Amino acid sequence: NAGVTQTPKFQVLKTGQSMTLQCAQDMNHNSMYWYRQDPGMGLRLIYYSASEGTTDKGEVPNGYNVSRLNKREFSLRLESAAPSQTSVYFCASSEQLAPRSEQYFGPGTRLTVT
Partner 1 sequence: QKEVEQNSGPLSVPEGAIASLNCTYSDRGSQSFFWYRQYSGKSPELIMSIYSNGDKEDGRFTAQLNKASQYVSLLIRDSQPSDSATYLCAAGFQKLVFGTGTRLLVSP
Q: Given the rule CB under 8 A, which residues bind partner 1?
A: 40-43, 45, 90, 98-100, 102-108
Q: How far is the CB of 108 from partner 1 (least distance, A)?
A: 5
One DSSP character per residue, 13-70 reads E-TT--EEEEEEE-S--SEEEEEEEETTTEEEEEEEESSTT--EE-S--TTEEEEE-S
Of 72 and 105, nearer to partner 1 (C-beta) is 105
Which is closer to partner 1, CB of 17 or CB of 104? 104
Closer Cβ to partner 1, 17 or 43, answer by number = 43
Closest to 5 (Cα-Cα) out of 93, 102, 96, 97: 93
Q: Which is nearer to partner 1, 12 or 41 (CB)?
A: 41
Min. distance of Cβ 82 from partner 1 in angstroms? 23
Nearest distance from C-beta of residue 97 to partner 1, angstroms: 9
Q: Which run of H or E residues covers position 89?
A: strand 87-94
